[in-house]
Amino acid sequence: MENQSQNLPTQSQQKESQQKSWEYAWDLWCTLSIIGIWPRYIEPNLIFTRKIALPIQNLPKRMSGFSLLHISDLHFSASTSKNFLQKISRKIEQLAPDAIVFTGDLICYGTLENREVLEEWLKTIQAPFGVFATLGNHDYEKYLSLDDDEQFVIEHDKIPPLFRGFSRLLGTKVERHTEPVKGPIQPLQELLDMYKNAGIRVLHNNNALIGFGMNRINIVGLGDIMANQCIPEEAFKGLSPQLPTIVLSHNPDSFPLLKLYPGDLYLFGHTHGGQVNLPLFWKKITPIRDKSLKSGLHQRGDKTLFISRGLGTTFPFRWFAPPQMTLFQFVPKPTVTERAWKPIPEISKIVSDRAQCPTRTSSASKHIE
Ligand SMILES: [Fe+2]
């Protein structure tokens, strides 16, 4: 027994070996990154899952614990592998969400390639309370982007923003054939038909209720802002304002148009989390005006925003921005009265300090009761 315990690694030895493993992993990452293998072949195929318990005001009782999976930006094309699609399906199956939402850019450049493969895969995406989708700037009849003056334009070339970023970094300018967006661009009809055949409901400036009986929440979907199709006055029409509201929109730049409407959680995609998420460089390749909304959770007053890094890219190359899906689990938000009476540590400490003071004991007890 004595010999055995002598052979066991001590806590500091364990820590040291853990530290060494991290160092080896870091060296490996650096080596693979330098020769381009990591960002080109490894990171774009990793899918990270984030789980967020989100307090929601006025959440109907029986909707407590309801899970909503947010996915975005698949950018399906002929080069999307079946393995990657299966990986997404497996993850969704493991998470078993109550409902699924997709925030746009299902395809690339308004072009539907390998239609059968995409259609088959879409049919596997199911959830008991439904699957809902909005459209992104790649899902319309024309491909929309942001020009160098931050104006929305129809882009006639299919050049990934990543290449334009690299060329700008190298001091060479890629000529762009664009025209300004003058009126609403229409959604790609083939894509809408495909969604319909797969049983996925597209919310393009309209809303729906999810849940059952009296226990429901609103879900609102906007058209894309670059396509001149983000029309909140239509999207929020007929909404039940007493119910919690989840807002789906592809581009986080649409938030200023939406913030005056009811909304508890705003879900966006579009940014790919910077995609090549290196200081300064990501800003050159990410077509958004508000660079503060690159990815993750943000709070704007009482509104929660989440920007997904998405699943795919127009060109598979990612650094420090791996693909992502996010599972939200709704929990009731304590009301103001409940929050006031919650024995937070600071108050407990004040009360116990006061309790030790004989002259103030009675008043302190009364206050807390
Ligand atoms: Fe995208």
Domain assignment of residue 120, given as a range: 49-334
What separation in Å is there between the alpha carbon of 313 and the centre of ligand 1? 6
Kindly state whether residue 4 falls inside one of the protein's structural domains.
no
CA of 250 to the centre of ligand 1 (A): 8
Contact 255, 225 (CB under 8 A): no
Kindly give the distance from the C-alpha atom of residue 105 to the centroid of ligand 1, in angstroms, as a whole number. Answer: 5
Q: Cα separation of 335 and 122, whole Å?
A: 40
Cα distances from 153 to residues 159, 216, 217, 244, in angstroms, run 14, 39, 35, 35
Residue 120 lies inside a defined structural domain of this protein: yes
Distance 106 CA to ligand 1 centre (A): 8
Q: How do strand 265-268 and strand 303-307 relate by DSSP bridges?
A: parallel
Q: How far is CA 180 from CA 114, 147, 177, 218, 250, in A?
A: 30, 9, 10, 34, 20
Strands 215-221 and 152-155: unpaired
What is the pTM (predicted TM-score) of this model?
0.84
Distance of alpha carbon 225 from alpha carbon 185, whole angstroms: 10
Centre of ligand 1 from the C-alpha of residue 87, in Å: 19
Cα(357) to centroid(ligand 1), Å: 62
325 to 28, 37, 92, 300: CA distances (angstroms) = 26, 23, 9, 22
Q: How far apart are CA 173 and CA 227, in angstroms?
A: 25
Cα(261) to centroid(ligand 1), Å = 25
Q: Ligand 1: distance of its center to the CA of 269 in Å?
A: 7
pLDDT reported for residue 28: 81
105-159 per-position pLDDT tens digit: 999 999 999 999 999 999 999 999 999 999 999 999 999 999 888 999 999 988 7
Please report, for the domain that includes residue 304, its CATH number.
3.60.21.10
* pLDDT tens, residue order, the chain (369 aa): 445 555 667 877 777 777 777 777 778 877 877 778 899 999 999 999 999 999 999 999 999 999 999 999 999 999 999 999 999 999 999 999 999 999 999 999 999 999 999 999 999 999 999 999 999 999 999 999 998 889 999 999 887 777 777 776 677 777 788 999 999 999 999 999 999 999 999 999 999 999 988 899 999 999 999 999 999 999 999 999 999 999 999 999 999 999 999 999 999 999 999 999 999 889 988 999 999 999 999 999 999 999 999 999 998 999 999 999 999 999 999 876 665 555 444 434 433 443 343 333 333 332 322
Residue 342 domain flag = no
115 CA from centroid of ligand 1 (Å): 19
Alpha carbon of 325 to ligand 1 centroid (Å): 14
What span, in angstroms and rounded, lies between the C-alpha atoms of 31 and 157?
34
Buried b (16+ CB within 10 A) or exposed e, 185-220: bebbeebbebbeebebebbbbbbeebbeeeebbbbb
State in Å: Cα 172 to ligand 1 middle: 24
Under the phi-then-psi rule, with left for phi > 0, alpha for psi from -120 to 50, and beta for the rest, what region is 323?
beta
Q: Judge whether 25 lies within some domain.
A: no
- Residue 99 falls within a domain, yes or no? yes
Q: What distance in angstroms lies between residue 42's CA and the mean position of ligand 1's atoms?
A: 19
Residue 172 lies in a domain: yes
152 is written with which tokens?
């929305």
**pLDDT on residue 232:** 98
Taking the centre of ligand 1 as the mean of its atom positions, its distance from the CA of residue 316, in whole angstroms, is: 12
CA distance 358 to 353: 10
Q: How far does the centroid of ligand 1 lie from the alpha carbon of residue 18, in Å?
A: 37
Taking only the tens place, the pLDDT of each residue in 26-49 is 788 778 777 788 999 999 999 999
C-alpha 123 to ligand 1 mean position (Å): 21
Q: Give CA–CA dist 48/366, Å, rounded.
A: 50
Overall domain count for the chain? 1
Q: Is residue 301 part of a domain?
A: yes
